[in-house]
Amino acid sequence: MAEYGIVTAVEVDPTGADAIIIPATGGNLTIGSAVIPVHCDGAMPSFSDTSGIVNISGRIDFIVQGMDLLNLAIAAQGAQYTTFDVTVGTYKISTCKMTNLTLNASIDDIFKGSFSFVGLTWGTTTNPTLPTTVPGYQTWIMTTTNLGTFSAASVDITIDNAIKAVHYMGVGGDNDRLPQYLADGFQSIKFNAKLVNIPTVPADITANALSLTIDPTIVFVDNAAGTNTMTITFTNAAASDLSQDLDPEDLVRYGLTYECEDIAWAVA
């Protein structure tokens, strides 16, 4: 019988840490094999097809609940990103790293996110435990520091880790075509806000000298089930883009993008 998404649970198992039950809202898993057509002189069609490398990847959309999952997207200077296994229903992708983490706060929804990953192997297992409570964070109670006049309708935070699956010849056995290692890449951190008023920062976006905003923060407070606070701190944020959208049937909207050296979060 086919599996139904509404009863398919998602679990992430970080190396050396407790399992994380994910309140998933969507996503996908992909296992792809390169197909190599064989051509030679004297014929337009290929004579045959042969197999190439295999890549395993996925994306999980989720409701933000805390720091454990988010921490898999970051690493200390000189350290590698933490590996983890992902179980989606009865499928398990092992030895994964997070290639991308996107967090979205919008006035018309709770705080949500999405993460993409690559892994080394694909197998089957049993369906994880379904989440029992999903507290979430309200987004209309948001405060900022060091960001000037900041009346935002939405905020998007993106971390790209440029993880690369590494293949090589001569592995042997049944895993010849599978990736053997995951290589860490340079990290990029950005956040973009859609504002309903023109911001006072960055006033000098066109200046010759790059102006850094030291450690701006965004704080979300959830009063729905007790008081929960998530504080997101950016290290040395530099404004990279300021745009204006004009809609005759709406307020003028301003888009503001920052690029940052580092990011951290705290929950209270």
Which letter does DSSP use for residue 131 in this model? P
Measured on CA atoms in the order 257, 62, 106, 221, is the torsion positive or negative?
A: negative
pLDDT at 93 over 80: yes
Q: Check residue 149 and give its pLDDT.
A: 78
Q: Check residue 44 and give its pLDDT.
A: 82
How many CA atoms are closer than 13 Å to the CA of 254, on its beta-carbon side? Answer: 15
Q: Check residue 203 and give its pLDDT.
A: 59
Buried b or exposed e, range 201-216, using 16+ CB within 10 angstroms? bbeeeeeeeeeebeeb
Three-state DSSP state, 72 = helix
Cα 147 to chain centroid, rounded? 23
**Mean pLDDT of the 208-223 span:** 83
**CA-to-CA distance for 31 and 220, rounded, in angstroms?**
37
Annotated domain spans of the chain = 5-267
Q: Check residue 224 and give its pLDDT.
A: 64
Confidence of residue 201 (pLDDT cuts 50, 70, 90): low
What percentage of residues in the chain have a pLDDT greater than 90?
Answer: 50
Show the tokens assigned to 103.
């967090």
Show the tokens assigned to 235.
């290290």
The pLDDT tens digits for 23-57 are 999 999 999 998 998 888 877 888 888 888 999 99
**Mean pLDDT of the 183-199 span:** 91
**CA-to-CA distance for 245 and 253, rounded, in angstroms?**
5
Q: Check residue 226 and give its pLDDT.
A: 59
Bigger pLDDT: 178 or 245? 178
8 A C-beta contact, residue 161 and residue 187: yes
Which letter does DSSP use for residue 6 in this model? G
Which letter does DSSP use for residue 81 in this model? P
Nearest to 72 by CA among 132, 29, 19, 122: 19
| Range with top average pLDDT, 89-93, 155-159, 245-249, 253-257 | 155-159
Bigger pLDDT: 22 or 200? 22
Which letter does DSSP use for residue 225 in this model? T
The pLDDT tens digits for 97-134 are 999 999 999 988 889 999 999 999 999 999 898 887 77
Nearest to 9 by CA among 128, 114, 123: 128
Confidence of residue 12 (pLDDT cuts 50, 70, 90): very high
**Mean pLDDT of the 80-104 span:** 95
pLDDT at 173 over 80: no
User: Rg for the chain (alpha carbons), in Å?
Assistant: 22
What percentage of residues in the chain have a pLDDT greater than 70?
Answer: 94
pLDDT at 1 over 50: no
pLDDT at 91 over 80: yes
**Mean pLDDT of the 247-265 span:** 88
* Residue with tokens 């706060």, as numbered in its chain: 105
**CA-to-CA distance for 98 and 232, rounded, in angstroms?**
19
Nearest to 163 by CA among 85, 63, 56, 91: 56
pLDDT at 223 over 70: no
| Range with top average pLDDT, 178-182, 212-216, 246-250 | 178-182
